[in-house]
Amino acid sequence: MIFFSRRGDASDPHLDWKIRLFFAGAILAMVGIGLESSVLVGLAIPVLLLGIGLRILPGGKSDAEGGDPEEGETPPEEV
């Protein structure tokens, strides 16, 4: 199967936006380089930095929600 969904067990809830921002920033940068436009290249930099900034946003599943247990901890028992 070529296309598969990674939404079911994605550990990073912001992964889709990180990918979108990376491609948008990359396209802006490449078009800016091709057109020799410092404005487009300059616009690409904040777009890429915004994607990097998504790393600091809280997210993911906590242990109470069934996320991965920390190293050394045992997973909660199912009833």
pLDDT in tens, the chain (79 residues): 576 665 555 577 888 999 999 999 999 999 999 999 999 999 999 999 999 998 887 765 544 455 555 565 666 666 6
| Concatenated DSSP letters of 12-65 | -TTHHHHHHHHHHHHHHHHHHHHHT-HHHHHHHHHHHHHHHHGGGS--S--GGG
Residue 23: inside a domain, yes or no? yes
Q: Which residue type is seen at 55?
A: R
Domain total for the chain? 1
Residue 40: inside a domain, yes or no? yes
Residue 71 per-residue DSSP state: T
Residue 62: inside a domain, yes or no? no
Tens digits of residue pLDDT in 31-47: 999 999 999 999 999 99
Residue 6: inside a domain, yes or no? no
Residue 49: inside a domain, yes or no? yes
Note down the domain range covering 29. 15-57
Residue 46: inside a domain, yes or no? yes
C-alpha 59/C-alpha 52 separation (Å) is: 15
Residue 33: inside a domain, yes or no? yes
Residue 4 per-residue DSSP state: -
